[in-house]
Amino acid sequence: MTPAETAHEFHSTEPRTHEEWYELAARVLPGAGLGGYSLPEDVRFVIERGEGAHLFDVRGCRYIDYVGGAGALILGHAHPHVIDAVQESAPKGLHFFGTLNEYCVRLAEVLVDAIPCAEKIAFSTTGSESTFYAMRIARAYTGRSKILKCEGGYHGNHDYSNFSVSPSQPANYPAGRPDTAGMPASIHEEVLIAPYNDLEVVRRLAEENRDDLAAIIVEPAQRVIFPKEGYLQGLRDICDELGILLIFDEVVTGFRLAYGGAQAYFGVIPDLASYGKIVGGGGPVGCVAGSEQIMEQCNPVNRGGANYAYINGTLHGNPVGCAAGLATLEILREPAFYQRLHDRSAGLQSMCQEVLDRHGLAAKAIGQASLWQIVFTEVEPESYTDFLRADMASTRELDRLQMHEGLYVLPAVRRFVSAVHSDDDFEQTVSALDAACLAFKNRQTS
């Protein structure tokens, strides 16, 4: 084969089979994947398209999607109103830089109106950037450097987040366990770890580090663990007492639990909040929100000043992403949107619990609103340590078996119910779980 022919084969746009896609992916992507998740070989697939609550793969198989773009797609795939907005904005230019565009200013106005703690927002591109920036702004504002985060809490892919996200043992608080290689050793001392839902440990660590602690960052609902009564208010009180900033990571909860996010749902207002996912309607948009006084740290006229926090990125304020976000939020403002979504999701959650109970499996559907997960556990987890006691191997196995039955759920990861899952989808989901439970029990007895 000549070099020209090889190049032609390599860049071929001919249809490929499932196997050919994976052969190619194995050649060009580490582990033939996109990073964090490596699906078992028997359930992995290459997406051809998404439509509403469904995904279709290159073999023509259909899946009911509960991954929902990691929670970004509260309106499902290719929602007509969102696609119209993208089609209106895209021909005007996919990307600009350095000055404003109408979509980003309009989205900023909508976000400031919606987010209780927001007087100003600063755009980013992803949730990870948003939490990274929130921490930077908190440091610039307080002149302190340490950050306290919760064990089991995930704030994205950067170095300050990747401590004790999924440790195999509980931490010796406040020492965190790195979740990845490649982080500078010095960062270890900057991140303090506390168990979620435990105000006593937070208070002790905050008091011990009062001169160095810039912020406490928390997922208001950590994965599928919801806060105990008074927990978030307790964090607010500790922060107020010690002059520490409270950051809510609303990358998932923002516009998912309520239009005003966790702040509205739980009635506690943080100093700063980080967003991603839903605010971009599936596009590359995130933001940090806060009061005028705190957000002044990233006002570019202060560049060069001692407290200036640098926030900048090539895709910040991306017009197409902002148009998708604006169209999404417009639908979320419809009366009773969240009540309907939560009621329907709770209905599915309890139907799934009935199936688990009928099969006599020691598994629980844990979570609330439109985010929950099936976990083999005796107790309702209140912290990450409770998850360490759960049977995660069985949890993963039951999820894998549900994938065999046509559901897209990542093994041992929470699922997101969207506004476009239909009654039919729910019925098929319950039947799929029923079949998966049977297969699970047969495996145990064989």
165 or 269: CB nearest ligand PLP: 165
Site for ligand PLP, residues 339 to 378, rule: CB under 6 A? none
Instruction: Report if residue 159 touches ligand PLP, rule: CB under 6 A.
Output: no
C-alpha span between 86 and 90 (Å, rounded): 6
Q: Select the residue interacting with ligand PLP from 65, 151, 198, 249 (CB under 6 A).
A: 249
Binding mask 377-406 for ligand PLP (x = CB under 6 A): ------------------------------
Which candidate in 120, 146, 149, 277 is catalytic?
A: 277
156 or 195: CB nearest ligand PLP: 156
Query: Segment near ligand PLP (CB under 6 A), from 111-119, 155-163, 201-209, 375-383?
Result: 155-163
Strands (E), 291-331: none
- Pairing relationship of beta strands 272-275 and 245-249 according to DSSP bridges: parallel
CB atoms within 10 A of CB 3: 7
| CB 59, min distance to ligand PLP, A | 28
| CB 73, min distance to ligand PLP, A | 13
Contacts 24+ apart (CB under 8 A), 13-21: 15/58, 16/58, 17/58, 17/59, 18/45, 18/46, 18/57, 18/58, 18/59, 21/46, 21/58
Strands (E), 292-443: 363-368, 371-376, 407-408, 415-416
Residue nearest to ligand PLP (CB): 127
Instruction: Report if residue 151 touches ligand PLP, rule: CB under 6 A.
Output: no
C-alpha span between 288 and 122 (Å, rounded): 5
Instruction: Report if residue 154 touches ligand PLP, rule: CB under 6 A.
Output: yes
Instruction: Report if residue 156 touches ligand PLP, rule: CB under 6 A.
Output: yes
Indicate left, alpha or beta for 189 from its phi (over 0: left) and psi (-120 to 50: alpha). Answer: alpha
CB 319 within 8 A of CB 92: yes
CB 138 within 8 A of CB 291: no
Q: What is the DSSP string of 355-376?
A: HHHHTT--EEEEEETTEEEEEE
Q: How far is CA 219 from the centre of its chain?
A: 10
| CB 118, min distance to ligand PLP, A | 17
72 or 355: CB nearest ligand PLP: 72
Instruction: Report if residue 142 touches ligand PLP, rule: CB under 6 A.
Output: no
Would you say how long the chain is, in residues?
446
Which candidate in 63, 66, 133, 154 is catalytic?
A: 154
Active site residue 265: no
167 or 220: CB nearest ligand PLP: 220
| CB 64, min distance to ligand PLP, A | 21
| CB 121, min distance to ligand PLP, A | 16
251 or 323: CB nearest ligand PLP: 251
Q: Where are the alpha helices (DSSP H) in 58-125?
A: 80-89, 102-114
Instruction: Report if residue 425 touches ligand PLP, rule: CB under 6 A.
Output: no
C-alpha span between 76 and 66 (Å, rounded): 10
Active site residue 343: no
251 or 294: CB nearest ligand PLP: 251
Token pair for 337 = 């949107």
Instruction: Report if residue 126 touches ligand PLP, rule: CB under 6 A.
Output: yes
Site for ligand PLP, residues 250 to 289, rule: CB under 6 A? 251-252, 276
Site for ligand PLP, residues 214 to 233, rule: CB under 6 A? 219
Q: Is 157 helix (H, G, I), strand (E, B) or coil?
A: coil
Enumerate residues 6+ apart whose C-beta is below 8 A from 354.
none
Site for ligand PLP, residues 44 to 103, rule: CB under 6 A? 70
| CB 343, min distance to ligand PLP, A | 24
Active site residue 92: no
CB 348 within 8 A of CB 317: no
C-alpha span between 147 and 189 (Å, rounded): 10
111 or 432: CB nearest ligand PLP: 111
Q: Select the residue interacting with ligand PLP from 52, 127, 234, 270 (CB under 6 A).
A: 127
60 or 182: CB nearest ligand PLP: 182
- Supply the residues annotated as catalytic: 154, 249, 277
Please give the residue ranges that form the binding site for ligand PLP (CB under 6 A).
70, 126-128, 131, 154-157, 219, 249, 251-252, 276
